[in-house]
Chain A
């Protein structure tokens, strides 16, 4: 299973974390520090898999962002590497040529999408379309609620005028 997902920038800024196994806040900061310190200096030609405390960390760099997933040592790391790519493809499709700023200002969207891709540290959905559908549905629900709110407040505003 995937124990956690980490996104950090080339400067070591954390952009997204998702923990599927229980880690205390202290352990989390420690893990982030160790991994960003261990992965960032690695050259582009080096292996995408790093052993870390009896687990394996699969990482991949997309532009200035590093996507890391920590899996059990006996798990299939290539499979995990493609989960990362799968997630990135979905993000790309959603944001349209995704960049780091998208993930900074819309970090909640990144979380929503991740939640549709992974649950309990396992791949939930391998179809990009299916994920896109669900997210679009969510967005429309939010929009609908917002409109409703707006019209409601309009009505109230008019009524109280």
Chain B
């Protein structure tokens, strides 16, 4: 069958194949191309054979990946050649098909006189044209013609027509209703093997491709009204579902399962309409699907998980969920989280009774605690809280789980929460008295994370308060725990320990505070929302999860305001007047926040507070106190709390306003310039804060070197994505910020260390260019970093004699510079002294005999060494808006920069920047005008 006679081509191909390397091949190809080019150009009378040969060669060269930029005309000429042999070559090589063919093609397709070979090509040609231009089938009555075409007996033509129909229907399902009954007939004919020529069976299956395509078409028509058609379709489906078995032959297997899957998806769609006995037939495969959960190929495991999830309903939920639970222990890690989530959702959706649901989730936590996201156990808590019948059962079950030797942390959380809330319901049962329950929980206390510890502390106080009549022994134990953690490292735990300790001293009047949590408002399960998304694509789990977290937390933020501020919660402090009631709620719920922050109504204020506290609690302890929630401080109960800082009022309401408004423009909750100025004078504090992110700074300075740690704290319950932070250093600083992680998880903090080296003196400051996305908008800002000159200064205490000696030695410019500064922010000498000291410029009191003058010395560090700088300020007590400033050092540029720096600090910058329009006149010039 070789290319008989075409020796030139064979030789060429052999030559190319024999080439040792790419270079040789290229040479050979170029030679051939040149040859062909001259042949085409010169010899008018190429024989058809030669033409053919050269086109073949060009085609081969083209296939090898070389560019062939000529010869198209010859190819087209071949298409129109009279003899078939040439035409055939042209058809392969020719690229261009005229679009005006459409009507002709249609005619060919419809005409019954044509050969099947031509008609099927016409059908697919029309499909090709249709994809390019949908108007080609815009013919009156085309759908009727399609229906006629479906009467075709020839399977080949039918396959081609069906391909065309799939495309047509996909774009316009309504237009082809008349084809449905025909399609059902076809599929019926195929499944019953009626009138199917032997050559159209594939491993004994009547054209699986046509079956698949036909069912594809039918999938666009989920509701079939005609009961007869529907019946026959269901018969067909049932036949497919029942008849498909796993066989040895791979190809047969593939083909039959291709059909089966198509049938399943069709079946899934029709199920909505008719919950018939087909349901039963799909369940026949349940066992097999469960087996394929253990298939070695992960994609198959995923698929079968999806399928199980999809086919689950009230009747088989119990089996499937239990199967999933069992599988969970052996499943591999990649699939576990999804598995856990799906099991949780199914359990909730189809729970035959509520206690079963609780059982399942607790089992889930036990078996795969690491993979149970917080959402899952929040949901249990919500569920139990809202169903009184369930509470005692849940508490008892949780208690049993705690008895087991190794308990997962999530289990400790759930159990702690449930027992804290509801253990008093069990008090009568053996082994369940508060005094017995407490040690069971406390047993786990040393080994859990701080967030869990905080939660457990809440549980203890609740257990204690619910034990009626009071149990002095229990009280002693609990109080000793609180006492012990009063000095705990973590602020949250410490605060709770202290507060609970004091609260518990208040005796029975506190019972109301520690009452059970109120019921949650009904709302869609966050898990189900998750499910809606995971349904789509299991492979993209992480992306989906991200999206989901956004959804749930949006819900939280929006809902809060109404649900919790609303009517009645009977838990005011007895000693508190009603006016402060809401605030108390905020405080209390803050303490409870552990189990709730994601899915439970918490008053918005409480929420923001707790976020602030959590965020800053660990690393920026001083800040945490500073930012300590205002409302806590405002309550009467704070008398007993060790919070000494005055309330920082305005920040919180502002933060709330932005959160609630769901505003797209995110504004900082304070003035960035204020923060910057404050940071110039101290080493740690807030650089920037908005409702979503808080950026803190902590700096350590040693000579010319510094290390600034930038804390990026996500205050939000949604991960911040696309986080970007770039430092734009000025020329006098060398600094390098390592890449910031792109994502900050909810309520997490990221630290970015930044090393700084001072090269020489300058007043320029680096700029931090940062941006993030909070799932709604991208927020970005450019912030000045407080790496100012004073950070590289160190106070230099100096004796009077030294000062005078050096001062004299530096006679005049450029090493000693003097300037009369006007428009100075009026301040007392003592204030100015303090300011200087803050900038590490050491004032030597008494060195200058005139009390209105200040003399100071400091050392400036840079890469090249230390420079001693002397400063003298002469003020006029009559006019504090002007002064004379003299700076001297051994380095001219340092002198100049330091002088300018001090000047900037003394001149009231805020008054200048306040009226940028008159900037030119508010400076020294304006001051001068004022003097005159």
Contacts and interface: CB of A to CB of B under 8 A. Distances in A.
Interface of A: 1, 14, 16-17, 25, 29, 45-47, 49, 51, 76, 78-79, 81-83, 85-86, 94-95, 104-109, 111-112, 115, 119-120, 122-130, 134, 138-139, 141-142, 145-146, 149
A46 to B, nearest CB: 7
Would you list the 5 A-B pairs with minimal beta carbon distance, nearest first?
Answer: A78-B258, A122-B163, A145-B85, A120-B128, A119-B124
Given A82-B258, A108-B3, 7 more contacts: A45-B297, A76-B216, A83-B209, A108-B56, A126-B159, A126-B202, A126-B209
A76 B212 CA distance: 8
Name the residue in A76, A82, A95 with the highest tally of chain B Cβ atoms < 10 Å from its Cβ. A82
B212 to A, nearest CB: 5
B884 to A, nearest CB: 72
Given A120-B125, A149-B49, A104 B159 contact: no
Interface stretch (B57-65, B580-588, B618-626, B912-920): B57-65
A122 B92 contact: no
Interface string B184-224: 00000000000001011010000111101000100000000
Contacts of B2: 105-106
Nearest to B14: A105
Contacts of B296: 45
Contacts of A46: 297
A124 B254 CA distance: 20
B199 A124 contact: no
B92 A115 contact: yes
A29 B156 contact: no
B88 A130 contact: no
Contacts of A82: 202, 208-209, 251, 254-255, 258
A118 B751 CA distance: 58
Given A112-B88, A134-B117, A149-B49, A127 B156 contact: yes
Contact of A124 (B83, B124, B202, B297): B124
A123 B1 contact: no
B84 A145 contact: yes
Given A17-B63, A78-B254, A125 B1 contact: no
A107 B92 CA distance: 12
A127 B216 CA distance: 21
B795 to A, nearest CB: 63
Nearest to B121: A119
B67 interface: yes
B297 A120 contact: no
A78 B261 contact: yes
Contacts of A17: 63
A122 B17 CA distance: 33
Contacts of A85: 251, 254
B689 interface: no
B414 to A, nearest CB: 37
A105 B13 contact: yes
Contacts of B127: 120, 122
A45 B590 CA distance: 54
B747 interface: no
Contacts of A45: 296-297
A105 to B, nearest CB: 6
Contact of B84 (A29, A47, A106, A141): A141
Contacts of B67: 25
21 contacts: A14-B64, A76-B212, A78-B261, A79-B209, A81-B254, A82-B255, A105-B2, A108-B92, A112-B88, A115-B92, A119-B120, A119-B128, A120-B128, A120-B163, A123-B163, A125-B156, A125-B160, A126-B156, A138-B88, A139-B1, A145-B84
Contacts, number: 133
B117 to A, nearest CB: 6
A97 to B, nearest CB: 12
Contacts of B92: 108, 111-112, 115
A129 B297 CA distance: 36
Name the residue in B17, B86, B88 with the highest tally of chain A Cβ atoms < 10 Å from its Cβ. B88
A14 to B, nearest CB: 7
B63 A107 contact: yes
Contacts of B163: 120, 122-123
Contacts of A105: 2-3, 10, 13
A138 B208 CA distance: 28
B12 to A, nearest CB: 11
A26 to B, nearest CB: 11
B599 interface: no
B87 to A, nearest CB: 9
Name the residue in A17, A47, A105, A123 with the highest tally of chain B Cβ atoms < 10 Å from its Cβ. A123
Contacts of A141: 84-85, 88
A45 B83 CA distance: 49
A29 B10 contact: no
B109 to A, nearest CB: 13
A111 B89 CA distance: 11
Contact of B85 (A112, A127, A146): A146
B262 interface: yes
A130 B212 contact: no
Nearest to B124: A119
Contacts of B159: 123-126
A102 to B, nearest CB: 8
Interface string B268-305: 00000000000000000000000000001101100000
B254 A130 contact: no
Contacts of A134: 117
B930 interface: no
Nearest to A85: B251
A112 B63 CA distance: 15
A99 to B, nearest CB: 13
Contacts of B300: 47
Name the residue in A29, A46, A85, A142 with the highest tally of chain B Cβ atoms < 10 Å from its Cβ. A142
A125 B120 contact: yes
Interface in B15-65: 17, 48-49, 56, 59-60, 63-65
Contact of A146 (B5, B156, B200): B5
B841 interface: no
Nearest to A142: B85
A145 B117 CA distance: 22
Contacts of A108: 3, 56, 59, 92
Contact of A129 (B5, B199, B261): B199
Contacts of B261: 76, 78
A126 B200 contact: yes
Nearest to B116: A130
B257 interface: yes
Contacts of B199: 127-130
A25 B825 CA distance: 71
A122 B165 CA distance: 12
Nearest to A95: B1
B539 interface: yes
Contacts of A16: 63
A83 B254 CA distance: 11
B155 interface: yes
Contacts of A119: 120-121, 124-125, 128, 160
Contacts of B155: 126-127
Nearest to B128: A120
Contacts of B120: 119, 124-125
A76 B256 CA distance: 12
Name the residue in A94, A95, A124 with the highest tally of chain B Cβ atoms < 10 Å from its Cβ. A124
B121 to A, nearest CB: 6
A49 B258 contact: no
Interface string B79-97: 0000111101000100000
Interface string B140-180: 00000000000000011001100100010000000000000
A126 B210 contact: yes
Contacts of A78: 254-255, 257-258, 261
A79 B208 contact: yes
Contacts of B257: 78
B125 to A, nearest CB: 7
A124 B121 contact: yes
